[in-house]
Amino acid sequence: MKRKALLIAAALAGAAVNATAQSGDLSVEPLVEPESKTIKANVGKKANEIEKAKIIESLQEIRKDPTTVQFHSAMCYDMVMPPPDTTFACPYCGNTAQYPTRSFAGKVADWMPSIERTLALCKVKIEADYSDFCPKCRKDTAQPRSLKFVSYCLDCGEKFNWSASGEKEVEQLTLLALKFPIKEVDQGEKGSMKIEPEKLSRYISDRFLCPKCREKHGLK
Ligand SMILES: [Zn+2]
Ligand SMILES: [Zn+2]
């Protein structure tokens, strides 16, 4: 258990280092803010004014005509059988929990480092809250587990919440790290499309812009 926690910590630190290297700032920030349920990996360079305009323009263009984006999928050669269970190491309290590898909770446990890398690459500040997956930190056991997010609106900076529940929604998160203007999308494995082309702009708008700014830019 310790080993896995360390591996995840190392992977997260790696993401933070990569992201800070991009922004030219070499200081590595602590992974978890004290007294906070937020992992500090969102140190990647966020959009400046010119980039903001470019992102909004690209989203508007795709909304009008999704065929401007090339969607392709790669064959998957991953034939390795995963172990039946995997360990979730809580980044907040250090507790661990075992989940079936193929379950939603198991995927979140295994993908946590790559989710953090994706968020660090996003042009908008987005923070993930994994507490639903820790038996100790989970607040509402009556609700099904979900991965919760806070986005800071690209345009006005206002915070808003959204969540991902289910494996497909976690896979879709990589769409948030696409380069703007978006010209192509890797749909992942054949047969498990991440997103329908006509839904791409809305997917990103709903996670990059607050409801008011979506309306303002015709991206509702
Ligand atoms: Zn915990
Ligand atoms: Zn806004």
Distances (CA, A) of 22 to 17, 30, 120: 9, 18, 11
Looking at residue 191, what is its pLDDT? 61
Look at the block and give the residue holding tokens 């959009």: 47
Mean per-residue pLDDT, 85-90: 96
93 pLDDT above the threshold of 50: yes
Ligand 1 midpoint to CA 34 (Å): 14
Q: Where are the domains of the chain?
A: 2-216
Ligand 2 midpoint to CA 149 (Å): 16
Q: pTM, whole model, 2 decimals?
A: 0.77
What lies within 8 Å, CB to CB, of 87 at 6+ separation is: 1, 4, 96, 97, 98, 99, 109
Look at the block and give the residue holding tokens 């808003």: 160
Tokens of 87: 């360990």
Looking at residue 8, what is its pLDDT? 47
Ligand 2 midpoint to CA 217 (Å): 10
Q: What is the chain's length?
A: 220
Mean per-residue pLDDT, 173-201: 89
| 125/176 Cα distance (integer angstroms) | 11
Question: Which uninterrupted H or E stretch holds 130?
Answer: none
Mean pLDDT of the chain: 84
